[in-house]
Amino acid sequence: MGNSIVLVIIDMQTGAFDGKAIPPVADAENLLANVVELTIKAREANIPIIFVQHNGEEGHPFEHGSAGWYIHPDINQTNQDIIIQKTTPDSFYKTDLQSELDQLGIKKIIIAGLQTEYCIDTTCRRAFSLGYDVILTGDAHGTWDRENLTAPQIILHHNTILREWFAEVKEVLKIDFNQ
């Protein structure tokens, strides 16, 4: 590969959007549109895309093989995309993610998806600790309202904290895969 950038999309699975097992993720329509925009831009620039897919236990909205487990169809995952299966918030823990990145010669990771305070936060920190240049798409990761914080508050908090040490935070419109 000529460039050393990859787009990593975490847990953008149907179960987070369909409202069947859990309420849809906050601001689902905008989140989905922003992630779709990122994939279009990545494909136009011939940037590899890695989908990280959570495998929940029986009864979990992302239970392996259930309707909610599949990557959201609007994202148009292709056969060229790499799919990594995980069972924890850390996309690197007991997965092939790092070996896939090494095989591709990746130095810079652009991260989007779900869930801000778990998988996004943990994967950004771990990628930084492993020596990758991390860009978090500030408007292409999401979560749900919590008892004491709204989803926008959680997202803003994590964008602020992660940008101070672990990742450059950029809006989707400012992501340029050709740099």
Please state, in angstroms and rounded to a whole number, the distance separating the CA atoms of residues 66 and 4.
34
Q: How far is CA 115 from CA 96, 133, 154, in A?
A: 20, 20, 10
Supply angle C-alpha 93, 98, 100, rounded to 5.
130
In the chain, domain spans: 5-174
Neighbour-count burial for 78-89, b at 16+ CB within 10 Å, e otherwise? eeebbebebeeb
pLDDT at position 78 over 90: yes
H or E stretch covering 79: none
Q: Give pLDDT tens digits for 6-23.
A: 999 999 999 999 998 899
Fold assignment, 5-174: Rossmann fold (3.40.50)
Q: Give pLDDT tens digits for 60-75.
A: 999 999 999 999 999 9
Residue 90, token pair as written in the block:
């850390």
Q: Give pLDDT tens digits for 38-62.
A: 999 999 999 999 999 999 999 999 9
| Predicted local distance difference test score (pLDDT) of residue 3 | 67
